[in-house]
């Protein structure tokens, strides 16, 4: 499947520097700039924004927490971020490169980068994770590892465009403990949300490839049918002409 996904990214790549970017409001918590020809998917409880540029892929995920991850204090928040990060990287069979805490507008982000492969292509994947108002967000930039320096301006354009509502703070980064559920009753941890959230991204990429292939096959099939029909029509016309033209060996023509 990885080879299929790599082929997909190669076939659908477009020049990110020449694209028009627009502000997109993910929901009441997050607004971000993305290429205007992005694709929006709502599936399995997630909202995913996806855009392809030359040698890179942009994805923004929103995963509803529904009180599953418990966050009371700053220590809980950093621990939850670390679990979310670990789940995402392990799901992609990646290796952590770097991690840093970023505080903007009195809100804490976790930004990390890791190596992973897509087919035979080594990628460097950057993610800025955000937990706010009981929702997880993963703003991701996947790039060909050998192009990381050239793609830095586009990557920075994405991450610096993040906008949060006025007045948000660390108080918006707490959870009420699972809506009354005990630890045993809660179904997911931050690790599991990160892990399965990453799997859903890969499934959507694979489905996108399948749809693309089907459309190409349909176009080719229609073209073949069109060519075949045209050729048959030509044969029919030639046959009709042969029938209507006088034949040299026809005895009826000798009297004329």
Residue 112 domain boundaries: 2-210
pLDDT reading at 255 higher than 80 = no
Q: Does any domain span residue 244?
A: no
pLDDT at 138: 97
In order of 78, 171, 195, 219, the CA distances from 188 in angstroms are 17, 22, 10, 44
pLDDT at 196: 59
Q: Does any domain span residue 193?
A: yes
Q: Does any domain span residue 157?
A: yes
pLDDT at 88: 93
Kindly report whether the global pTM for this prediction surpasses the value 0.95: no
pLDDT tens sequence across 213-225: 333 333 433 444 4
pLDDT reading at 131 higher than 50 = yes
Looking at the DSSP assignment, which residues form a beta bridge with residue 153?
A: none
Number of domains the chain contains? 1
Q: Does any domain span residue 64?
A: yes
CATH number at residue 172: 3.40.1000.10
Q: What is the DSSP string of 108-131?
A: EEEEEEEEEEETTEEEEEEEEEEE
Q: Does any domain span residue 218?
A: no
Q: Does any domain span residue 121?
A: yes
Q: Does any domain span residue 249?
A: no
CB 67, CB 178: distance < 8 Å: yes
- What is the arithmetic mean of pLDDT over 177-202? 55
- The 10 Å Cβ neighbour count of residue 132 is 21
Listed range (108-122, 160-174, 231-245) with the worst mean pLDDT: 231-245
Listed range (78-82, 97-101, 178-182, 192-196) with the worst mean pLDDT: 178-182
Mean pLDDT of the chain: 75
pLDDT reading at 190 higher than 90 = no
- What is the arithmetic mean of pLDDT over 206-215? 40
Q: Return d(Cα 153, Cα 163) in angstroms, integer.
A: 18
Q: Return d(Cα 49, Cα 29) in angstroms, integer.
A: 15
Distance of CA 107 to the CA centre of its chain: 26
- What is the arithmetic mean of pLDDT over 140-157? 96
Q: Does any domain span residue 245?
A: no
Band of residue 205 on the pLDDT scale cut at 50, 70, 90: low
Q: Return d(Cα 120, Cα 215) in angstroms, integer.
A: 26
């Amino acid at each position: 499947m990885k080879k299929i996904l790599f082929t997909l990214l190669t076939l659908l790549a477009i020049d990110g520097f020449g694209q028009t970017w627009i502000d997109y409001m993910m929901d009441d918590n997050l607004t971000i700039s993305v290429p205007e020809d992005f694709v929006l998917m709502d599936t399995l409880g997630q909202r995913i924004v996806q855009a392809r540029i030359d040698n890179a892929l942009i994805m923004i995920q929103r995963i509803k927490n529904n009180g599953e991850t418990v966050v009371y204090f700053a220590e809980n928040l950093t621990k939850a971020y670390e679990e979310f990060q670990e789940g995402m990287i392990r799901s992609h069979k990646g290796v952590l490169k770097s991690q840093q805490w970023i505080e903007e507008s009195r809100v804490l982000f976790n930004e990390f980068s890791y190596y992973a492969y897509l087919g035979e292509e080594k990628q460097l994947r950057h993610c800025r994770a955000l937990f706010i108002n009981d929702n997880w967000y993963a703003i991701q930039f996947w790039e060909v590892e050998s192009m990381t320096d050239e793609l830095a301006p586009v990557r920075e354009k994405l991450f610096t465009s993040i906008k949060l509502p006025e007045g948000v703070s660390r108080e918006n980064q707490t959870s009420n403990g699972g809506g009354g559920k005990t630890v045993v009753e809660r179904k997911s941890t931050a690790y599991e949300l990160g892990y399965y959230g990453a799997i859903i991204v890969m499934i959507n990429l694979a489905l996108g490839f399948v749809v693309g292939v089907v459309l190409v096959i349909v176009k080719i099939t229609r073209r073949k049918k069109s060519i075949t029909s045209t050729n048959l029509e030509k044969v029919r016309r030639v046959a009709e002409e042969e029938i209507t033209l006088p034949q040299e060996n026809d005895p009826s023509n000798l009297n004329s």
